[in-house]
Amino acid sequence: MIRFVIPLGRVGNPNDIASIVVFPASDNATHVSGEMIVAGGSMLCNKR
> pLDDT tens digits for 5-26?
777 778 888 998 899 889 989 9
Q: Indicate the pLDDT class of residue 1, thresholds 50, 70 and 90.
A: low
Do 37 and 46 form a contact (C-beta atoms < 8 A)?
no
In this predicted structure, what is the pLDDT of residue 44? 66
Which residue would you say has higher pLDDT here, 10 or 30?
30
pLDDT at 36 over 70: yes
pLDDT at 32 over 60: yes
In this predicted structure, what is the pLDDT of residue 10? 80
